[in-house]
Structure 1
Amino acid sequence: MTSISVRRLQKELTEIQNEGCPVGINLLKADDFQTWFFTLEVMGDSLYQGEAYTLMFRFEPQYPISSPAVQFVVSHDKQAPIHPHVYSNGHICASILGSEWSPVLSVVAVCVTLQSMLASCKKKERPPDNDRYVRTAPDNPKKTVFHYDDDTV
């Protein structure tokens, strides 16, 4: 990690520890500056009411110039939310994680955006190319070049 990355992540972690996270977002684990885990729950009336998901952030040495790799954790007892922009392997097709990333965005801002994305969803369904994508997807979602064409869900 570069000193810029470490300083930025230390600042974000200190703010989370001192001020807490918004409602429905909780830091689970941040033992280093490479991988952090959060729980994400949509608050209020939504299709995802009462459901909680785990998000994993992986940071590269270029953070915050480069976006973190963010995905929902999928395991034998956890699944990714069923959403038109979330693949069953946990990869998320969201422009803020790719072409619209900005260094002014923080880890908490990404969590809030994903929480909002779930809250505004009108229909639980997987992306149309889910099966093909999951079969061929790299481990790191940042190695995927997503095509962002639908911001209405």
Structure 2
Amino acid sequence: SSFCLLAKAAFHSSAQVPQEVPRSGGTGTPRPEAEIHILVRLPVRKDQVLAMASKRILKELKDLQKDPPTSCSAGPKVEMKGGFSKTPYGICGPVAEDMFHWQATIMGPPDSPYAGGVFLVTIHFPPDYPFKPPKVAFRTKVFHPNINSNGSICLDILKEQWSPALTISKVLLSICSLLTDPNPDDPLVPEIAHMYKTDRTKYEATARSWTQKYAMG
């Protein structure tokens, strides 16, 4: 993307020019500067792109605080910088908030084997957000056909179905829905997808066991 800048430039000859140049009337007057208007096409600078992304991310944060999605919360990652201070997050600090790196918490849906679990999720916004999707991953281990051991999530809206109209709130709700209704036909872990299809009882028991072990500590 780019924008246009209308520049006004004054050009002077590099040769020595007399202070006065006679005109046709014979009267000597100062020679005027030659003026020319140039239409310059410049690329949008990186800091402008970051400013656009920051503005959008800040708006989403305010919307989340005003109307948080059910069973989810999210906000900028807080980095400890030494010393102590009172913040909305408790006694800590001084702290630095990175608007492009968030942490989220998802409560296991009550009608799933993940019920009662508290799952931590990281969210990384790219510099050209919202035109590119955020990178979202589980930090808490979860037994699920669409979530692998690295926490990567197989969710279409985080890949080819992403749209700038989507928000982090909608992404979190989609992840909650994925916990309730896995998609074994587009698995990230084929072995778990096979278990989900062929032995649902074993799948739910294993998922419940992992939830108790890793998400209830």
Q: Which is greater in Rg? A: 2
Runs of 4+ in 1 over 3 A off after TM superposition: none
Q: CA deviation at 1:95?
A: 1.1
- What is the match of residue 37 of structure 1? 103
Q: Return closer, same or farther for 1:118/1:3 CA change in 2, 3 Å cut-off.
A: same
* Alignment of structure 1 residues 59-138 onto 2, 5 Å: 59-73=125-139, 78-79=140-141, 81-121=142-182, 127-128=189-190
Secondary structure at 1:54's aligned position in 2? strand
Q: Does the Cα contact within 8 Å between 1:41 and 1:51 map onto a contact in 2? A: yes
Q: CA deviation at 1:29?
A: 4.0
Q: Return closer, same or farther for 1:104/1:28 CA change in 2, 3 Å cut-off.
A: closer
Q: Does the Cα contact within 8 Å between 2:154 and 2:188 map onto a contact in 1? A: no
Amino acid of the structure 2 residue aligned with 1:127: V
* Structure 2, unpaired ranges of 5+: 1-48, 78-96, 193-217
* Structure 1, unpaired ranges of 5+: 131-153
Q: CA deviation at 1:45?
A: 1.5
1:22 corresponds to 2:83 = no
Secondary structure at 2:176's aligned position in 1? helix
Q: CA deviation at 1:24?
A: 1.0
Which digits, 9 at most, give the CA deviation of each residue in 1:42-66, with x for residues without a partner? 3321121111211111011110000
Q: Structure 2 length as normaliser, TM-score?
A: 0.52
Q: Does the Cα contact within 8 Å between 2:123 and 2:134 map onto a contact in 1? A: yes
Q: What RMSD, in angstroms, separates the aligned Cα atoms of the two structures?
A: 2.3
Q: Does the Cα contact within 8 Å between 2:145 and 2:183 map onto a contact in 1? A: no
2:111, 2:103 → 1: CA distance? 25
**Larger relative strand fraction:** 2
- What is the match of residue 7 of structure 1? 55
The percent of aligned pairs where both chains have the same amino acid is 30
Q: Does the Cα contact within 8 Å between 1:40 and 1:55 map onto a contact in 2? A: yes
Which digits, 9 at most, give the CA deviation of each residue in 1:126-145, with x for residues without a partner? 70279xxxxxxxxxxxxxxx
Secondary structure at 2:106's aligned position in 1? strand
- Bigger relative contact order, structure 1 or 2, given CA contacts below 8 A and separation 6+? 1
1:58 corresponds to 2:124 = yes
Which digits, 9 at most, give the CA deviation of each residue in 1:62-101, with x for residues without a partner? 100000111011xxxx42x211110011011111111000
Secondary structure at 2:162's aligned position in 1? coil
Amino acid of the structure 1 residue aligned with 2:171: V
Q: Does the Cα contact within 8 Å between 1:42 and 1:49 map onto a contact in 2? A: yes
Amino acid of the structure 2 residue aligned with 1:96: I
Amino acid of the structure 2 residue aligned with 1:46: S
Q: Structure 1 length as normaliser, TM-score?
A: 0.72
Amino acid of the structure 1 residue aligned with 2:138: F
